[in-house]
Copies of this chain bind each other. A is one copy, B any other.
Amino acid sequence: MMTEADRQMLTIAYEEAKKGFDEGGCPIGSVLARGGMEVSRGHNQRVQQGDPIAHGEMDALRKAGRQRTYRDTVLYTTLSPCMMCSGTIVQFGIPRVVVGENTTFGGNEDFLRAQGVEVVIADDPDCIALMERFIREKPELWAEDIAED
């Protein structure tokens, strides 16, 4: 179930993803929010910073800095979280994740739900189109980001 605040935050995450695309990186963006308000935003920095752990979600969590708790937060991401980001969501105790799309990549939704995380899939056409363009134009970079040999 998507709220109006969810849509606003996911729009910011998409803008972050687009920024990453325009920088020549992997177009995946993320927002950490609390009470419908943005805490931080980030996007994948693999190319820009040469940093393999800086997926969109990780970049947003890093930029949020130290938080007393994550139990009252929501994580927004344009793309379904990989196993690194899914493990992080569970470790940090983030109770709700809103995902732009899981058409181009996915598979960890069941892991998250089994750990008690609410996962909402927005099935957003803009998120899908941006990832499809990226995978078509830069297949090697995409393979590297999801650690496919």
Task: Give residues in A with beta carbon < 8 Å to B.
Answer: 46, 50-54, 58, 61-62, 64-71, 82-88, 90-93, 144, 146-147, 149
Contacts and interface: CB of A to CB of B under 8 A. Distances in A.
19 contacts: A46-B66, A50-B66, A51-B62, A52-B61, A52-B62, A52-B66, A52-B67, A53-B58, A69-B147, A83-B91, A84-B87, A84-B88, A84-B90, A86-B87, A87-B87, A87-B88, A91-B146, A91-B147, A93-B149
Contact of A53 (B53, B82, B149): B53
Contacts of A88: 53, 83-84, 87
Given A52-B67, A52-B92, 6 more contacts: A50-B65, A52-B64, A53-B53, A68-B144, A87-B88, A91-B146
Contacts of A53: 53, 58, 61-62, 88
A1 to B, nearest CB: 26
Contacts of A84: 84, 87-88, 90-92
A65 B52 contact: yes
Question: Which of A71, A88, A91, A149 is the most central at the interface, judged by chain B CB atoms within 10 Å of its CB?
Answer: A91
A115 to B, nearest CB: 8
Closest 7 CB pairs of A and B: A87-B87, A83-B91, A84-B91, A84-B88, A83-B87, A83-B90, A50-B65
